[in-house]
Amino acid sequence: MFRINIAQRVKELPPYLFKEIDKQKAEAIKAGSDIIDLGVGDPDLPTPNYIIEALSKAAADPTNHQYPSYAGMEAFNKEAALWLKKRFDTDIKSSEVITLIGSKEGIAHTPLAFINPGDIALIPDPGYPVYENSVRFAGGIPFYMPLKKENGFLPDFSAIPENIAGKAKLMFLNYPNNPTSATAEISFFNDLVLYAKKYNIIVCHDAAYTEVYYNGKKPTGFLEAEGAKEVGIEYHSLSKTYNMTGWRIGFAAGGSDIINALGKIKSNVDSGVFQAIQIAGIEALKGGEKYIEELNRIYEKRKRIILDALNSAGIKAYDPKATFYIWFEVPKGYSSAEFVSLLLSKANIVTIPGSGFGKAGEGYARISLTVSEERIKEAALRIKNAKF
């Protein structure tokens, strides 16, 4: 009898967090519940028309129907470098940019370029599951850096044992942060560069949420720190910034040796991004500032509604300076998973348990603001009326 032998690396993977949430949601909907999904961070608003129009025009051009460049179109990489210069005052050249099939793809492939079996990578806890899983795929060993509220949900580098730091090859970080919504100042990134140089660690900074911010205060980027390019790579995504999650386009920038190593992996496993999408991406980067401001005002209104509801219910929530997430403490007496299940059963609201992002996320849960204001108001009413 034929038998399928699944690779050990696949057997050891935990169920992908958002897949499990989707399963629970589907079961509740099947049972007839009116579910409000405040779980996965997939923007509900459409991609701006100017970007769609650029895609439509480019898609009709036969010259865009063949294989694209592995590293991305020179025009897209140049525009990304110009955007980084304008936004973060970086000195990145277009040759130090690589186009990604969404930032998730670049993050997932990076460990394959730098991690040998048994190598250590420093992983934030709680954190985006792809950091840990991509390290495991490469045969690496994750070492978890707890993000604690007393440290503003920033890692404490002094708490990393010397023998671990000396063996670490990579460090993943993400500010503005998913799931905690914490931000980092330039002083933190300056210290990070010094730490990376001391221990010869490549910094992999996921910057997917830098353009979702409040009160006009733009978050700091890792590449703003002096010497950052020498020690690291930063991933940017058009998904959250321009409501383009389904388009799958982003880019990474950093030191040429790091970018080239990632490029070698990518050239062997994918064939790049459809050129028409890259052309639309150029237009997004060129003309998106006014749109970003308008989008952030929408998230600000949604944020206030949910925060008021959580406060009314006696639930401690952290007012985010950036991202479209709200990180809150679950009431005493509940685990993260228990309270999320309670919200689903009592209020028909889907949220994400903090424990799904790592052990240090226990005691917390995450709300996403990516549903309409009408549904946000309904969710707030349900939270206020629920008795926890």
The CATH number of whichever domain residue 245 belongs to comes to: 3.40.640.10
**Contact at 8 Å (CB) between 29 and 358?**
no
Extract the tokens encoding 337. 């998973």
Domain boundary among 249, 267, 287: 287
Mean pLDDT per segment of 10 residues, for the chain of length 388 residues? 89 72 80 91 95 98 95 97 97 97 98 98 97 96 98 98 98 98 98 98 98 96 97 97 97 97 97 97 92 96 98 96 98 94 92 95 98 97 89
CA distance 35 to 309: 18
pLDDT computed for residue 24 by the predictor: 76
Q: Environment class of residue 369 by beta-carbon count within 10 Å: exposed (0-12), middle (13-18) or buried (19+)?
A: buried
pLDDT computed for residue 16 by the predictor: 64
Domain boundary among 270, 287, 304: 287
Q: Which domain holds residue 119?
A: 49-287
Residues 254 and 342 in one domain: no
Alpha helices in the chain (DSSP H): 8-11, 17-30, 49-59, 74-88, 103-114, 129-137, 162-167, 186-199, 228-231, 256-269, 275-287, 289-312, 336-347, 373-385
Domain boundary among 287, 317, 339: 287
Residues 99 and 210 in one domain: yes
Q: pTM of the predicted model, to two decimals?
A: 0.95
Residues 379 and 326 in one domain: yes
Angle between the N-to-C axes of helices 336-347 and 373-385, in degrees from 0 to 180, rounded to the nearest 10: 100
Q: What is the dihedral of CA 155, 157, 161, 164, to 10 degrees?
A: 80
pLDDT computed for residue 13 by the predictor: 79
Angle at 188 between CA 182 and CA 191, to 5 degrees: 150
pLDDT computed for residue 235 by the predictor: 98
CA distance 90 to 126: 29
Residues 226 and 90 in one domain: yes
User: Is 220 among the domain residues?
Assistant: yes
Residues 319 and 231 in one domain: no
Residues 37 and 59 in one domain: no
CA distance 225 to 203: 12
Residues 271 and 310 in one domain: no
Which is it for strands 120-125 and 141-146: parallel, antiparallel or unpaired?
parallel
